[in-house]
């Protein structure tokens, strides 16, 4: 009798909780969790909840341990030359922000090295003596110093495409200035608008791949910098093989030659496609940019590369090189 009463009581409690959920009554987190645990149909939801909870906790811990927000804001300021409020910055302000981080003991060697690389790559006319002083103030180990020196030797930041502009600006040859100040003031104006309208302060900078895709989309991509497949040549190839399309190759198995009347499928087949493969690797910001542009331009954009790059991956690659 006692067991039956307990079972009835538990069953009654479950019904009350279920009714609360169905009526969308406000439950505190403990009640909500108890409710989910008591109902078998919510087992999957409970698993998803705990997975979400685990991921959020670990992400937040990483965010705190590496001071990502503080470093990230400075990185965005350096790359855009505009702060999160849309105000244009100067060299002294960005340098002061960099010094605050690299002279602090709260940041690890990799964070400091990455920040210094961004600074050196975005500013022109920093002399070797000043570079050495800044690197020394960061108290980097020998390996990290070598990474900075070897990376800058690659000269990736002096790409003609990146600095190309219709309206070149004449600045003093000895003055330290931002790479965008030198050649692309329109980009700075663009970043001002992005900062004012962006939902996220840590993703204001747009990878150069956005400009490349827009050039491809508008058929204005410069072959001197980015050799690519000529669409007119492709049309000639298609015309040359047109006669073979209707022939069935029996040796390769059955070929289904019927057509569907699905209008949506026809529309999808006509959708333009852009394929990009980057030797050296792709980054998460580039993937995010591709996703956004696919929707904006209504184009299927496929991005591939030799690696999925993060700063850790790059540092690990340098560890394998015989840097003297």
Over residues 121-142, the pLDDT tens digits come to 999 999 999 999 999 999 999 9
Question: What does the pLDDT average to over 273-289?
Answer: 93
Answer yes or no: is 185 within a domain. Answer: yes
Checking if the pLDDT of 169 tops 60, the result is no
**173 and 191 share a domain?**
yes
User: What was the pLDDT predicted at 254?
Assistant: 41
pTM: 0.72
**292 and 319 share a domain?**
yes
Nearest by Cα to 301 from 314, 292, 309, 310: 292
Question: What does the pLDDT average to over 40-61?
Answer: 87
Checking if the pLDDT of 98 tops 90, the result is yes
Q: Which two tokens stand for residue 7?
A: 């079972």
Could you tell me if 114 and 98 are in contact, meaning their C-beta atoms sit under 8 angstroms apart?
no
The last residue of a domain, from among 202, 233, 256:
202
CATH of the domain at 76: 1.25.40.60
**111 and 213 share a domain?**
no
User: What was the pLDDT predicted at 252?
Assistant: 42
CATH of the domain at 319: 3.40.50.1910
Nearest by Cα to 300 from 277, 317, 324, 276: 276
**159 and 213 share a domain?**
no
Answer yes or no: is 317 within a domain. Answer: yes
**Lowest-confidence pick of 39-48, 146-155, 164-173:** 164-173
If one compares 165 and 296, the residue with the highest pLDDT of the two is 296
Q: How far apart are CA 113 and CA 34, in angstroms?
A: 48
User: What was the pLDDT predicted at 237?
Assistant: 46
Answer yes or no: is 175 within a domain. Answer: yes
Answer yes or no: is 250 within a domain. Answer: no
Answer yes or no: is 242 within a domain. Answer: no
If one compares 17 and 273, the residue with the highest pLDDT of the two is 273
Question: What does the pLDDT average to over 273-285?
Answer: 93
Q: Average pLDDT, whole number, for the chain? A: 80
Query: Cβ of 184: how many Cβ atoms within 10 Å?
Result: 21
Output the 3-class SS for 150-162: HHHHCCHHHCHHH
User: What was the pLDDT predicted at 243?
Assistant: 47
User: What was the pLDDT predicted at 322?
Assistant: 75
The pairs formed by 202-208 with CB atoms below 8 angstroms and a separation of 24 or more are 202/68, 202/69, 202/72, 202/73, 202/76, 203/76, 203/285, 203/288, 204/76, 204/80, 204/82, 204/84, 205/75, 205/76, 205/79, 205/80, 205/285, 206/289, 207/283, 207/285, 207/286, 207/289, 208/161, 208/162
Answer yes or no: is 293 within a domain. Answer: yes
**198 and 116 share a domain?**
yes
Over residues 234-263, the pLDDT tens digits come to 555 455 545 444 444 444 444 445 555 555
Domain total of the chain: 2
Over residues 193-225, the pLDDT tens digits come to 999 998 889 999 999 999 999 999 999 988 888
Question: What does the pLDDT average to over 148-155?
Answer: 87
**86 and 188 share a domain?**
yes
Query: Cβ of 147: how many Cβ atoms within 10 Å?
Result: 25
Domain that holds residue 219: 206-223+268-324
Question: What does the pLDDT average to over 280-286?
Answer: 94
**281 and 181 share a domain?**
no
Question: What does the pLDDT average to over 65-81?
Answer: 94
**159 and 210 share a domain?**
no
Checking if the pLDDT of 11 tops 80, the result is no
User: What was the pLDDT predicted at 244?
Assistant: 44
Checking if the pLDDT of 301 tops 80, the result is yes
Question: What does the pLDDT average to over 92-120?
Answer: 95
Could you tell me if 303 and 286 are in contact, meaning their C-beta atoms sit under 8 angstroms apart?
yes
**216 and 180 share a domain?**
no
The last residue of a domain, from among 168, 202, 236:
202
User: What is the residue whose two structure tokens read 């919510």?
Assistant: 42
**155 and 212 share a domain?**
no
Could you tell me if 213 and 300 are in contact, meaning their C-beta atoms sit under 8 angstroms apart?
no
Answer yes or no: is 28 within a domain. Answer: no
Answer yes or no: is 244 within a domain. Answer: no
CA dihedral (136, 141, 147, 153) positive or negative: positive
**173 and 211 share a domain?**
no
User: What was the pLDDT predicted at 253?
Assistant: 43
**Lowest-confidence pick of 9-18, 190-199, 270-279, 288-297:** 9-18
Q: Which of 152-166, 203-217, 226-240 has the highest mean pLDDT?
A: 203-217
**93 and 178 share a domain?**
yes
Q: How would DSSP label each residue in 65-111?
A: HTTHHHHHHHHHHHHHSB-TTSPBP-HHHHHHHHHHHHT-TTS-HHH
């Amino acid at each position: 009798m006692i067991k039956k009463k307990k079972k009835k009581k538990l069953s009654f409690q479950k019904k009350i909780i279920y009714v609360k959920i169905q009526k969308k009554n406000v439950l505190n987190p403990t009640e909500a969790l108890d409710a989910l645990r008591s109902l078998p149909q919510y087992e999957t939801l409970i698993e998803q909840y705990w997975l979400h909870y685990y991921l959020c906790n670990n992400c937040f811990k990483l965010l705190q341990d590496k001071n990502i927000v503080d470093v990230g804001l400075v990185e965005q300021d350096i790359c855009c030359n505009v702060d999160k409020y849309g105000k244009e910055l100067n060299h002294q302000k960005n340098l002061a922000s960099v010094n605050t981080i690299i002279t602090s003991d709260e940041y690890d060697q990799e964070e400091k090295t990455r920040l210094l690389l961004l600074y050196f790559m975005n500013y022109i006319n920093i002399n070797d003596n000043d570079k050495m002083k800044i690197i020394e103030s960061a108290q980097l180990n020998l390996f990290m110093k070598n990474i900075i020196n070897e990376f800058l030797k690659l000269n990736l930041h002096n790409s003609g495409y990146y600095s190309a502009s219709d309206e070149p600006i004449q600045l003093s040859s000895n003055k330290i200035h931002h790479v965008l100040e030198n050649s692309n003031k329109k980009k700075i104006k663009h970043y001002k608008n992005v900062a004012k309208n962006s939902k996220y302060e840590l993703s204001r900078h747009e990878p150069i791949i956005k400009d490349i895709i827009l050039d491809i989309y508008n058929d204005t991509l410069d072959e001197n910098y980015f050799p690519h497949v000529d669409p007119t040549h492709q049309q000639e190839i298609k015309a040359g093989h047109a006669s073979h399309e209707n022939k069935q190759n029996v040796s390769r198995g059955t070929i289904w030659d019927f057509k569907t009347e699905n209008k949506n499928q026809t529309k999808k087949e006509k959708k333009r496609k852009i394929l990009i493969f980057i030797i050296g690797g792709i980054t998460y910001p580039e993937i995010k940019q591709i996703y956004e542009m696919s929707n904006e331009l209504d184009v299927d954009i496929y991005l591939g590369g030799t690696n999925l790059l993060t700063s850790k991956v790059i540092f690990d690659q340098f560890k394998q090189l015989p840097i003297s």
